[in-house]
Structure formats: C-alpha cells, structure tokens
C-alpha cells in the first residue's frame, strides 16, 4: 500500500454540497436585497472558504461591514440547512469502507467553517475519520499547509506516507505547500480541463480509481 494516511477535501470531493451552499448564499443575499447567484457562479466561487464565497457573491462596492453581515446570515442559515440536499457522491461510502478495511488512516481538511465540517462528517460519516478539521480563526486556511500539518502532527504520520485528495486548484496548491502527493478528482466543482490548467498530475474520474491508486504496490 502506498500511503498510511489519506487526507480528503470535503466539498466537491466526498460530498456534493453545491445546492445547499447556493440556497444558503442566495437566502443571505436576498435578505439584503442583493441579486442571487446561479449554480454555475456558486460552483466557480467555491474552494476558498465561506468568507471568500460571500466576498465574491455580493455586488461590487459592498462595504466590509455589510459583507460581514451577509456572512453572518449565510452561516446561520447554512448551519440549519447544510444537509437539506447534500449527499455523498456515488461510490464514496464504498471507497471509505474499503480504505478502512485495509488499515488506512483517514482525515478531512476543508476550508468550510469548522462548525459545518464537524456537523456534516458526523452526519454522513460517523466514526470514519481519524481527524476532521475545517476553517478556524487564527489558523491559515488552504492553500496554506497549516491545517494539514496539524493533522499530521495529531496522527503522528509523516507527510511522505500521506496523500491529499481534492477537486480544485486550492487542493493542488495545498498538497504542494505541504510537500505531499496529490490526487485530483473531476466529479466535483472543477472540470478536468481546469484541473489540468492548475497543474494536476493525476486526475481520477470515480471513487474506485482512488482505491486502485492507493492500494497499488
């Protein structure tokens, strides 16, 4: 087996969260009489955390105070509705089960607010992951390697025995900054062409491909 630890991104990699994120964002925008954003727009904005999602979604010239208020409304609504339409991608449960049966440690590192990451992982993957980390105040978010490094220290695993798996350019940069291998997946929020442009070296098309890659000798 190639790796002892597999670190997953959450949104667009394990869970299809797009509809709930878009619904929550548009609820917050409507609260301030701002124009709503389409699903393709929201998909394009995702990957850099909730604050950046709001910053890109509000009209140009929106004050910092108003952006903060929109973010608060968004978080409040999303906390109550983060699993209304969210679901794992086909084949994810089977992948995680097989990895655990083969003795792999598994973790989640996300730019989503930590409150939502904890809720979703507990709801959809109870007892599966050995470490779960979302965005927290005082810790640099991806693509900085800080959260990944924290997980490595927590689980006492060397980065050379670890692979990072994600669906966006942010994940590719995170793996590079953490000096570990990266597997990119094209079923999430970025197309295969976008991943290639971002420098992806391995792009997988379905969860079973992850298993084949990780278990290869």
Q: For the segment 163-192, what is each residue's pLDDT rounded down to a tens digit?
A: 999 999 999 999 999 999 999 999 999 999
State whether 152 and 58 are in the same domain.
no
Q: Are residues 48 and 103 in the same domain?
A: no
Q: Give how far the C-alpha of residue 54 lies from the chain's centroid of Cα atoms, to the nearest Å.
A: 16
Residue 63 and residue 9 share a domain: no
CATH number of the structural domain spanning residue 72: 1.10.150.240
Residue 9 DSSP label? -
| Domain extent at residue 31 | 18-81
Q: Are residues 176 and 207 in the same domain?
A: yes
Two tokens at 165? 């798996």
- Is 0.85 surpassed by the pTM of this model? yes
pLDDT tens digit sequence for 113-136? 999 999 999 999 999 999 999 999
């Amino acid at each position: 087996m190639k790796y002892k630890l597999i670190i997953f991104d959450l949104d667009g990699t394990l869970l299809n969260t797009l509809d709930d994120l878009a619904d929550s964002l548009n609820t917050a925008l409507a609260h301030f009489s701002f124009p709503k954003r389409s699903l393709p727009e929201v998909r394009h904005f995702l990957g850099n955390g909730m604050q950046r999602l709001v910053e890109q979604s509000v009209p140009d010239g929106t004050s910092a105070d108003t952006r903060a208020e929109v973010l608060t409304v968004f978080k409040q609504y999303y906390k109550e509705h983060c699993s209304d339409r969210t679901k794992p991608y086909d084949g994810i449960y089977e992948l995680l089960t097989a990895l655990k049966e083969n003795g792999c440690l598994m973790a989640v590192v996300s730019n989503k607010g930590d409150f939502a990451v904890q809720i979703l992982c507990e709801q959809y993957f109870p007892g599966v992951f050995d470490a779960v980390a979302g965005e927290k105040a005082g810790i640099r978010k991806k693509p900085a390697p800080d959260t990944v490094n924290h997980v490595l220290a927590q689980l006492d695993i060397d980065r050379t025995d670890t692979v990072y798996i994600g669906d966006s350019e942010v994940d590719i940069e995170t793996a590079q900054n953490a000096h570990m291998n990266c597997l990119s997946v094209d079923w999430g929020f970025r197309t295969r062409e976008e991943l290639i442009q971002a420098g992806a070296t391995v792009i997988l098309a379905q969860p079973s491909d992850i298993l084949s890659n990780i278990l290869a000798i």
